[in-house]
Amino acid sequence: MSASTAATPIGIHDLELATSHHAVDLGDLAHSNGTDPAKYRQGLGQDEFSFPAPDEDIITMGAAAALPIIERHGFDGIRTLLFATESGVDQSKAAGVSVQRLLGLPNHVRVVEFKQACYGGTAALQAAVGIVSRSPGERVLVISSDVARYLLDSPGEPTQGAGAVAMLIAANPALVEIEAAAGLFTDDVDDFWRPNDSTTAVVDGKLSVSAYLDALEGSWNDLQAQGGPGIDEIDRILYHQPFTKMAKKAQGHLAAVTGAPLSLALPGDAVDETQRDTGLATGTLYNRRLGNSYTASVFAGLAALLHHDADLAGRRIGLFSYGSGSVSEFLTGIVQAGYFDATAAERVYAALDARAPLAVEAYRELHSANLPSSEDYETPRVTAGPFRFAGVKGQARQYERTRD
């Protein structure tokens, strides 16, 4: 790599979030199954979760997240589309290939799917940074999109969710420059996985929480070994959020590992003025209402931080990504001048508010429907989003744009 290429900042140039048509209120779920609602709202830090309509999936949400980015920037320089997901809809074809057609991207793009539970989006981001380092004139569209599904009446049920975040990775980015040093940690552990014949994840919840914290410590120690910034040089810290209380547990663990007095307050918690505010509460604002969006979760946290905190220019953000199984990464980035868009949060809240509430009985029916993936059928028209999954024809999934 030439010295001039190495000096070019590369990172997140634009970012958009999309979610599903429906939402389930966790107060309703608690009422129906006899749980104290405080367990969900304070114990897990979740208020609602998004749930897809029958004509929605990772592809319709991913394309919906990417559409405004394409409308703002066009196709210029985009020669790669990386689609990260845990909830893939085909064993062979990359979900991004359908997105290429739905968005009208040129044929001259490479498209591939990334999988490693909730970590895949971060792997795709780093691969995109690598591609742009090699060819700074290129831009890479990275889409993280997931539907988090656990068994009905299981401990994981209130931590379901659905959402997608699309990012445009480019040289001289408008939002966040990704720094070179990153902390990595891989450990073969059976905390969460999804067998090929199962539509819901198999999870050992307690093990996944401790594996997450071990991975955080391992990634952090590797970041330090790689010459990355110390805790006092990082202004804001974001975490993967399977449920937002997990970010608080992670922050507590990092505070213990580093000895730094990091604030542990989530929204509604008492604030200890002697502790340093690193944006923990701000980073949870969207995830409390989206639920778990697996690969998109940490980037939904990033969106919330960039949309609500107007004082970040020149500041360093740390971002911890964890994918059960497990692979994790602690990376850092520098927020760029002019990043703040005062209307961005309004757009996300409008999308969250626009979700159609789903009563518990209707949600349980949809959850149990388990539509076949290799028999032909048509889906009902439900989604109000720009793309829909029309059904299966000749054993192939069919997608269409709902409006021009």
Nearer to ligand COA, 38 or 396 (CB): 38
Beta strands 387-393 and 110-114: pairing type? unpaired
Question: By CB under 6 A, which span of 54-62, 102-110, 200-208, 226-234 interacts with ligand COA?
Answer: 200-208
Q: Among this protein's residues, is 22 annotated catalytic?
A: no
Burial 311-347 (b: 16+ CB within 10 A, else e): ebeeebbbbbbbbbbbbbbbbbbbbbeebbeeebbee
Amino acid type, 216: L
Judged by CB under 6 A, how many residues of this single chain contact ligand COA? 19
Q: Is 174 in the site for ligand COA (CB under 6 A)?
A: no
Catalytic-role residue among 13, 21, 22, 240: 240
* Residue 71 is among the residues annotated as catalytic for this protein: no
N-to-C CA span, the chain: 43
- Name the one range near ligand COA by CB under 6 A: 40-48, 94-102, 106-114, 347-355: 40-48
Q: How far apart are CA 399 and CA 383, in angstroms?
A: 12
Residue 326: is the preceding peptide bond cis (ω within 30°)? Answer: yes
Each as own residue / partner, the long-range contacts of residues 192-196 (CB below 8 Å, 24 or more positions apart, any chain) are 192/117, 192/324, 192/325, 193/117, 193/324, 193/325, 194/86, 194/87, 196/91
Distance of alpha carbon 183 from alpha carbon 175, whole angstroms: 22
Given 38, 271, 354, 396, the residue binding ligand COA (CB under 6 A): 38
Give the x-and-dash track for 312-351 against ligand COA (CB under 6 A). ------------x---------------------------
Can you tell me which residue has the tokens 């969207």? Answer: 286
Pick from 5, 28, 43, 364 the residue near ligand COA by CB under 6 A: 43
In whole angstroms, what is the distance from residue 255 CA to residue 241 CA?
Answer: 17
- Catalytic pick among 16, 48, 56, 86: 86
Q: DSSP code of 46?
A: -
Residue 245 Cβ, how far from ligand COA at the closest point, in Å?
6
Our finding on whether 258 is near ligand COA (CB under 6 A) is: no
CA 267 to chain centre: 20
Is residue 80 close enough to count as binding ligand COA by CB under 6 A?
Answer: no
Query: Do the beta carbons of residue 79 and residue 138 sit within 8 Å?
Result: yes
Nearer to ligand COA, 156 or 183 (CB): 156
Residue nearest to ligand COA (CB): 43
Tell me, residue by residue from 285 to 314, as one string, x for binding to ligand COA by CB under 6 A and - for no binding: ------------------------------
Contact between 256 and ligand COA by CB under 6 A: the answer reads no
Chain positions 137 to 156 lying near ligand COA, rule: CB under 6 A, are: 155-156
Q: Binding segment for ligand COA among 53-61, 238-246, 336-344, 381-389 (CB under 6 A)?
A: 238-246
Residue from 72, 206, 381, 393 touching ligand COA (CB under 6 A): that is 206
Q: Is 308 a catalytic residue?
A: no
Tokens of 85: 């997901």
Residues listed for the chain? 404
The residues of the shown chain that bind ligand COA, judged by CB under 6 A, are 36, 38-39, 42-44, 155-156, 159, 203, 205-206, 208-209, 212, 242-243, 246, 324
- Catalytic positions are 86, 118, 240
